[in-house]
Chain A
Amino acid sequence: MRYIEPHGHMVSRVTDDYQAMVIAGCQAVCEPAFWAGFDRSGVQGFHDYFCQLTDYEPKRAAKFGLPHFSWLCINPKESEDMKLAEEVLSIIPEFLSRPNVLGIGEIGLNKNTRNEVKILERHVDLAARHGQLILVHTPHLEDKLKGTRLILDVIKGDRRIDPGRVIIDHVEEHTVEMVLDTGMWAGMTLYPESKCTPARAIDILENFGAERIWMNSACDWGVSVPLAVPKTAVEMKKRGWIEEHTDAVIYGNPYRFMAQNPRFRL
């Protein structure tokens, strides 16, 4: 088996996780910028974090033979503070030329506030001006439906953005169709308690097609399973999926999306 982990917050994980992922067949890991679990006190904290994502963490991954890529942004959980968000947006361009940066992400919404929407629009503008791919986080639980609609409206409203260069992550049964209908890609996150279980993710693939969907573990500092993607591949086999079709979902799809950035080569 080979697979790509297209969404893993590896700065939160231990070296045993890297080792297990490589043993399971991981060929690359991609790390979007994320909330630390607490609010950073200022823009310098984000500067240090972006250095970690673009310098230190790739070196740590390389010790296990794993290519590491990253996405940059201020996450929506901290974008309610407009002043801080604007300061962070101003330092992102200096990091966009780093060799492992794939684009802007994971941007999006959290509680669907007006300030969050404004900062989402600013991120989309930043991506458009710099020709970047976009990775979008959709809100949790009861906020996901409304947030996904708002996010799609923002992105569709910016005509500079090619939908095929945007992935909307954390889709579930009630949001996947509206995402795919826009021409954007959809990501499914495999969590033990929320988002998708392996069985539901396979249901979604079987119901909506596997052309523009990837799966990820979104492993971070919370309850999450770094091997969720290969474990789901095992379940796909039980469900009668042939190896070629599983490979297309867990390796081919993330490769096709991210290879739109020429830096993503394996």
Chain B
Amino acid sequence: MTRNELLDLYFMDARSKLIDIAAFLDRIDRGKGEADFRLAAFRKALDELSAGEPIRARGVLLSLSDPTTEPIEKSPGKGAVGAWPGKES
């Protein structure tokens, strides 16, 4: 497909999601108290959008992933939160 055909198909959806992200960050700024590791991870992942190659989705996913390679001793729970808290957590 041409770039303009893809814009026709996805621009409004992407525009909506972009504004949602901006509003989300504004909302967090207006909130009270300290933000946990997820906000820093989110901001770091946003940097991946500036990549000059079409590997941005992969970059965002890698940025939010646990980069370690060894199994952990015990499960901290069943769920995942969407960002890696780091070894110290």
Contacts and interface: CB of A to CB of B under 8 A. Distances in A.
B4 to A, nearest CB: 14
Q: Is the interface of B mostly helix, strand, loop or mixed?
A: loop
B81 A77 contact: no
A20 interface: no
A122 interface: no
Interface string A206-235: 000000000000000000000000000000
Interface in A126-185: 139-146, 149-150, 172-174
A173 B78 contact: no
A139 to B, nearest CB: 7
Nearest to B72: A113
A149 B55 CA distance: 20
A139 B80 CA distance: 9
Contacts of A173: 55, 57-58, 61
Given A203-B57, A238-B9, A112 B80 contact: no
Given A114-B73, A239-B1, A239-B9, A146 B78 contact: no
A200 interface: yes
Nearest to B13: A199
A140 B78 CA distance: 10
B42 interface: no
B62 A111 contact: no
Interface string B25-56: 00000000000000000000000000000010
B41 to A, nearest CB: 8
Contact of A146 (B58, B68, B77): B68
A145 B61 contact: yes
Contacts of A146: 65-69
Nearest to A109: B71
A149 B70 CA distance: 10
A237 to B, nearest CB: 11
A80 interface: yes
Contacts of B78: 35, 77, 110-111
A141 B64 contact: yes
B74 interface: yes
Contacts of B10: 199
B9 A114 contact: no
Nearest to B6: A239
Nearest to A172: B61
9 contacts: A110-B78, A111-B76, A112-B71, A113-B75, A142-B82, A145-B66, A146-B66, A146-B68, A173-B58
Given A145-B61, A172-B57, 10 more contacts: A77-B78, A111-B72, A112-B71, A141-B80, A142-B64, A144-B65, A146-B67, A150-B71, A174-B61, A239-B1
Interface of B: 1, 9-10, 55, 57-58, 61-62, 64-69, 71-84
Interface of A: 35, 77, 80, 110-117, 139-146, 149-150, 172-174, 199-200, 203, 238-240
